Structure 1
C-alpha cells in the first residue's frame, strides 16, 4: 500500500511538472517599478519564498484579436485587457478572494517602463484598462502591457503583488472544454448577438464557446453596463471553481492531464510565480472560502459612462493588504462594505435595503443576479441546477 501511494504521489507530481512546462513564463523584472515606489514586500523564507505568506496576483483576460482569437472576437489592431481581477490567497491557504477592477475606472495611471527601455506616459486621471494598452503600444509585447497593469493595480490599491497571469479568449475556451463544460442554472433567457450568446432558461452544461460568450456578453442583458457584466463573470468563475473542486480531478488522471495541459498552455505568467507549490498548497480550499466581488465603485458624477472608486473601496484594499477576509462573516456572506452603500454606487432606478434582521429570512443567492460593487458571492453559491 505504501509503495502504491508513493507511486501515485510521484506520478501526479510528474504530471504537474510536465504540464507546467507548457506555461509561457514572462520575464518582466526589468519592467517592474523601482522598489522605493512600490508597497513594502514581506520577508520570505529562503527555503520556500511563498511559505506562510499571502500571495497576490493580477489576473488579466486579454482582448487579443490575433491568430485564433480573431475568429472568436473579430479583427482589431493592438491588444487590450478585457477584464482584470486581483487574486488574493491567504497566508494560511484557507481563503481565496478575487476582486474585479472595472476597466472604465478613472484612476491615476503611473509611468511604466517597457521592453527596450522606453516608458509610457503617466496620467493623473485615465481609464484603468489604458495601462495595458499603453504598455503594449510602447513596448509591443505582453510583458510591457501586463506589467504596466500590475504596477497600476499596486498604485491604486496599496497591495503588493507577486506577479500576473494572462489568459486569452481561446485559452479560456480550452480550459472549460477540458472540464467537459461548466454546469450552470440559467434563470432566464440570455441573448447578446455581439457576443454570440444564446441561452434559454434552465439547466445547462456550458461549452467553452458558450462560457466565453457569457463572460463577454453585455448588450441586451440587464442595463447593458460593464458593472453587471463583471458580476456575471464572477458567477461563471464561481461555477468553474466549484466544478473543479467537486469533480475530484486530482484522482482522475485522464481528466487531470487534459485540464492541466489546457490550463497551462493558455497562460502567460510573470517570472517568480511558483505554480507547483501554490497549487499543491490550495488542494483543501472549500468552495465557500472562494469569494468574488467587484471593488466598491459607482458612476462618475461628471460622466456616468465612467466609474470612480467609492469610499468603501479603501476598506477592501486595506483588508487584502493585511491578509484579512474581505467579508466579515463567511457563513452569511455579509460584505465588509455597508449593506447600504453610498448612493453614487447605485445605478439609476435601483434601491438597496439594510442587512436582514434576525427575524427575516435570507433569500437564496442567485449568483447571476445583478449585484452592486462590494456585494460578494462565493463558489458555494454557484447553482448547477435550477
Structure 2
C-alpha cells in the first residue's frame, strides 16, 4: 500500500523481475488492442466511447509544406501489414485542459495553457530501438511565425522561452517551433494532460521509483525521503513537476526525474495483466484515450492500436533517454540555450 508519506509499506511485495519491459507506446497499444477484442465480442459501445475520448488537431493542414522533409523509408521485405519506418513524435505533458480535475492538480485554465514537459521520441527504422530527447522548457529559442487559434499569424520572436510556443499557438506552434529548433520533421504529436496522467498511474496501480536525494518542494506539494517509493497518480505527477526541491532548482534536474518516471510507468504497464482483467483494461484504456490530444494521423483507436502493434519488438532496454545539450544563456543565467555543435549533431542523428 501507499503510505501517507508516499512510501511503500514494508509488508508490500516489490514487483518481480520477470518478463521483458516494453515501451510505453507499445503498452498503450496492447491495452487498446484488448479493447478492440472486447468490442468485437459485442461491446461496441466501449469502442465508440474510447474512440470518442480522443481529441485531435490538424497539424499537417495548419502548417502546410513549410516544414522539414519527411524521412525516406527503406522498402521492407517483410510481408507484415504493420508500418516499420522511422518516426519522430513530439510528446508534450501539459496543463492545457480546464476543469476541476486539472485545477485540483495545479493545471491552468484554457487561456493559460503551458507545456510543462517536452520530449521528442525518435523510433529507429525497424522499430526495435528508440531515443527520447527532452527539451528543457526554459530553453531560449527563436519562435517562428505560427498560425494562431484566432485565425491570425504571430510574429517571429527571438530569445523567447521554448514553452511560450504552446501558450501562444497550441500544438501547431509547438510542433513548428520544435521543427525550427531541430530541423527534424515531427511525424506525429501526442499530448497528455495533468488529470489524465494521474488517472493512468492510478489505473495501473501506481509506479515504483527510486530517488537519490530527499525532495522537499512546497510548490509541487511533494515531500519524499531518498529511497524507493510506490507513488499514486497525484504523487507521481508531483514528482514529474517538482524542480525547487532538487538540485539547483532548475528545469534540468526535473528532466532527470521525468525520464526516470517514464521508464517506471512503462515497466508498470507492461507488468500489469491487462488482457486478463477486462475492468482494469477498460480503466487503463479510458485513462489513456481520455487524456490524449493527437494529430489527425493518430486520432482513432485503430491508428493508435496499429502504432502500438508496430512497436512489438521495442523493449525498454533499447530506449535511450537523453537531454538536448544546453549551456547557460549569456543574457540570463536562469535560462539555457542549445549547446552547439553538440545539439545539432544530436538532431542530425535522428533524421
Pairwise same-fold verdict (TM > 0.5) = yes
Q: Kindly report which structure 2 residues correspond to 1:115-194, keeping only aligned pairs within 5 A, or say none.
A: 115-135=149-169, 145-194=170-219
What is the CA-CA distance between 1:231 and the residue it aligns to? 1.0
Q: Kindly report which structure 2 residues correspond to 1:23-102, keeping only aligned pairs within 5 A, or say none.
A: 23-32=54-63, 34-35=64-65, 37-42=66-71, 51-64=83-96, 66-68=98-100, 69-73=102-106, 77-102=111-136
Q: Is 2:347 the partner of 1:313? A: no
Aligned to 1:327: none
Q: Do the aligned partners of 1:17 and 1:276 also contact (CA within 8 Å) in 2?
A: no
What is the CA-CA distance between 1:256 and the residue it aligns to? 2.5
The alpha-carbon distance between structure 1 residues 251 and 201, as it changes in their structure 2 partners (threshold 3 A), is same
Q: Do the aligned partners of 1:192 and 1:220 also contact (CA within 8 Å) in 2?
A: yes
The alpha-carbon distance between structure 1 residues 250 and 288, as it changes in their structure 2 partners (threshold 3 A), is farther
SS, match of residue 272 in structure 1: helix
Aligned to 1:108: 142
More displaced, 277-286 or 259-268? 277-286
User: Using the alignment, how far apart are the partners of 2:68 and 2:90 within structure 1?
Assistant: 15
Structure 1 spans left out of the alignment, 5+ residues: 1-7, 136-144, 322-386
Aligned to 1:375: none
Q: Do the aligned partners of 2:138 and 2:163 also contact (CA within 8 Å) in 1?
A: yes
Per-residue CA deviations over 1:19-62 (Å, capped at 9, x if unaligned) read: 34421122334321x31x311124679x9997232111111111
The alpha-carbon distance between structure 1 residues 307 and 70, as it changes in their structure 2 partners (threshold 3 A), is same
User: Using the alignment, how far apart are the partners of 1:232 and 1:251 within structure 2?
Assistant: 32
Q: TM-score, normalized by length of structure 2?
A: 0.78
The alpha-carbon distance between structure 1 residues 316 and 251, as it changes in their structure 2 partners (threshold 3 A), is farther
Structure 2 spans left out of the alignment, 5+ residues: 1-33
Size of the aligned set, in residue pairs, is 302
State the superposition RMSD in angstroms. Answer: 2.6
User: Using the alignment, how far apart are the partners of 1:294 and 1:224 within structure 2?
Assistant: 17
The alpha-carbon distance between structure 1 residues 100 and 74, as it changes in their structure 2 partners (threshold 3 A), is closer
Between 1 and 2, higher relative CO (CA 8 Å, sep ≥ 6) is seen in: 2
The alpha-carbon distance between structure 1 residues 26 and 96, as it changes in their structure 2 partners (threshold 3 A), is same
User: Using the alignment, how far apart are the partners of 1:317 and 1:241 within structure 2?
Assistant: 25
Aligned to 1:296: 325
Q: Do the aligned partners of 1:65 and 1:73 also contact (CA within 8 Å) in 2?
A: no
More displaced, 119-128 or 203-212? 119-128
What is the CA-CA distance between 1:9 and the residue it aligns to? 10
Q: Do the aligned partners of 2:143 and 2:162 also contact (CA within 8 Å) in 1?
A: yes
User: Using the alignment, how far apart are the partners of 1:156 and 1:315 within structure 2?
Assistant: 13
